[in-house]
Structure 1
């Protein structure tokens, strides 16, 4: 915990002079996604509030926001914890992803599409793979899907999926072999990108649907083995 608190102290500069619960929640969301606070970790109000230099009320509001996003859970008389997902949670995350991401691709207008950010995520994943940094590859993969959703041009959809992707990162943190989890999707991301470059929305949607089904199957298998749930 000492290392995590030191990292949070470094984040104080991000708060600036107009510290708000939203900014605190942004910092904590990022740190949770990065694995600094793994699932099941109890978050101390005193320690975290002191590291960030914010009031107890501000921190509690940030905790409330992240609880609403399903990243934290409040347990009576015990405190606030980083949420531990169940197999049902993982399956529901993928159900939501399939509904939203496939609908975004299906609803795209006529090509060409603005794909620079999507292409950048593909290249970032490749760089991470070349360096053997598989957590970086996982982050690039999340960015790929975030940029895919952004093609809809909908702030509301972006906001909904931001929470979904943050929850997904919680599931990733129970995985030991990040390479086995993420490496197969480097090529698949590129295939989807190429289909969109060619203006083939139907083909991109088919690739995406199979991609998400396979990804769910692999993650649920790992999750059941690690968490010991039977679904």
Structure 2
């Protein structure tokens, strides 16, 4: 296998690792990515890393600027609106049709518990990460590998929009108890009520993000 073949084989896995870093909030909008640093941290060749960058640029998560390098993308207001539209279509439907004993429910519960721990410690970035895990678990209720993979990209774009805001407590604090309430409804078999609560929740979250985003002058 040639070096180019190896790079092409590794690229999707590397892209997934970088996507996970975006979802975890470890990479920020507008941040310049260092090939040397990332290739060392991930223990991969620069050729493989460049191919992963190319994949993520195609997804819109990164952007390449000639003679300057590769940067983390900065979401637009239009992209945020579209992200929430997609979230309603996927998450609310998955919750409405969910089986209360589905294995993903345990991951939802673990995410709620983690968010409560982080809230107690005033770790609002941690609360945000737990919230992302909660919503990824909701998507997993649909038992669709394609939907879950697609949601990974959506989640990365969403976390980038969160990264533009200066007050993570204001952004994440209200949703810890809302997540717990939605989980309780699901566990009681009240899937329609849980889906309706989630739709209202997402509308509130969207308004909060867009209002804060507009105040930044983007």
Same fold (TM over 0.5): yes
TM-score scaled by length of structure 2: 0.88
How big is each residue's C-alpha offset from its partner over 1:94-120, in whole Å with a ceiling of 9 and x where there is no partner?
1110111011122335x4444211111
The 3 A distance-change label for structure 1 pair 33 and 205 is closer
Shift of 1:36: 3.7
The 3 A distance-change label for structure 1 pair 53 and 177 is same
What's the counterpart of residue 32 of structure 1?
22
What's the counterpart of residue 49 of structure 1?
39
The 3 A distance-change label for structure 1 pair 86 and 151 is same
Shift of 1:191: 1.0
Matched residues in 2 for 1:112 and 1:43: separation? 42
SS at match of 2:64: strand
**RCO greater where, 1 or 2, for CA within 8 Å and sep 6 or more?**
2
Q: Tell me if structure 1 keeps the 8 A contact 2:23–2:132.
A: no
Q: Tell me if structure 1 keeps the 8 A contact 2:109–2:183.
A: yes
Shift of 1:129: 0.4
Matched residues in 2 for 1:108 and 1:158: separation? 15
Q: Which runs of 5+ in 2 are unaligned?
A: 1-8
Indicate the RMSD between aligned Cα atoms, in angstroms.
Answer: 1.9
Aligned length, in residue pairs = 209
Q: Are 2:127 and 1:140 aligned?
A: no
Q: Tell me if structure 2 keeps the 8 A contact 1:113–1:196.
A: no
What's the counterpart of residue 217 of structure 1?
207
Matched residues in 2 for 1:171 and 1:208: separation? 20
What's the counterpart of residue 62 of structure 2?
72
Match of 1:169 among 152, 159, 163: 159
The 3 A distance-change label for structure 1 pair 105 and 50 is closer
Shift of 1:35: 3.8
The 3 A distance-change label for structure 1 pair 112 and 32 is closer
The 3 A distance-change label for structure 1 pair 68 and 107 is farther
How big is each residue's C-alpha offset from its partner over 1:158-217, in whole Å with a ceiling of 9 and x where there is no partner?
001011011111111111111111110011101111111111111011100000000000
SS at match of 1:90: helix
Q: Tell me if structure 1 keeps the 8 A contact 2:11–2:49.
A: yes
Q: Tell me if structure 1 keeps the 8 A contact 2:136–2:148.
A: yes
Matched residues in 2 for 1:88 and 1:68: separation? 18
TM-score scaled by length of structure 1: 0.83
